[in-house]
Each structure stands twice: as C-alpha cells, then as structure tokens.
Amino acid sequence: MHEIVTAALIREGRVLLVHRSPSRRVYPDVWDLPGGHVEAGETELAALAREIHEELGVRMATGSATHLCRLEVGRGEESVRFSAWLVDEWAGTPANAAPEEHDEIRWFRPEEMPPLAHEPVGTAVLEAMRAARA
C-alpha cells in the first residue's frame, strides 16, 4: 500500500491549496492539499514536514500538526492511504517551490474552496475551518 500525507495550512481563516499541473499522471488539473509519499522508514509527520518544505519552502513548527482524516482508495498493491493533517504554525512564506508538480498555489476561504481530488478530505478541511471560526 502506498502512503500519502497532505497538509492543510490554515491562516486567517483561509487554507492554502496547490493546483496540480495538467501534465501530472495522477489527479491532473485539480486543486488539492500539498503533500506526497511517505518514504520507507519515515513517520507520517516526518514525511509531512519534508513534503511541505520541498513543495512550499516552509518549515512546519514542531507540534503544530493535528490529524484531520484518513482515507483509503483502491485495492491490493495499487491501494493508497491518504492522511490529511491540519498545520497552523510554520516558518517562512509559502511559495511554489515545486513548479514541475503545481502550476499555482492560492489561499481560499471556506466559501471559495474548489472541490479537492478527494471529497472526504475537502469536507474534513471545511469542517476544521468552520470549527476554528466558532
């Protein structure tokens, strides 16, 4: 089973999404959370920190990630486990540090958020954002 971690960076009531390049083999031309594969021997949090640094150029603050949801897609060797995390503290200004993967990054308010590649992840992000406002 492949393992993928994604990060919902939240600031001032908005979430940062990346637009996957149309040339991507998997989930092309959609908005999604930044993230990627968990490598052998890595914990989810270590992979999350590495991925947001590689893709956005920011360093996740220790202890700033809260697990949001987990989703399994597919069957057998081709199955994928997605794990989404809420990140509310980091160092640096997010930028598109992986232009070969994403052609745009943008902040979205809950009412502006486009559908994500996996609807249950998008629903979990919206619920977390609404809970933070309450």
Residues 33/18, Cβ–Cβ less than 8 Å: yes
Question: What is the count of structural domains for the chain?
Answer: 1
Token pair of 126 as six digits: 């919206």
The DSSP bridge partners found for residue 91 are 59
> Which CATH number is 18's domain given?
3.90.79.10
Token pair of 131 as six digits: 């809970």
What is the span of the domain harbouring residue 70?
A: 2-133
- 91-134 pLDDT tens trace: 999 999 999 999 999 999 999 999 998 889 999 999 998 887 75
pTM of the model: 0.92
Residue 20 and residue 114: Cα distance in Å, rounded?
A: 13
Residue 72 and residue 29: Cα distance in Å, rounded?
A: 21
Q: Which amino acid is at 126?
A: L
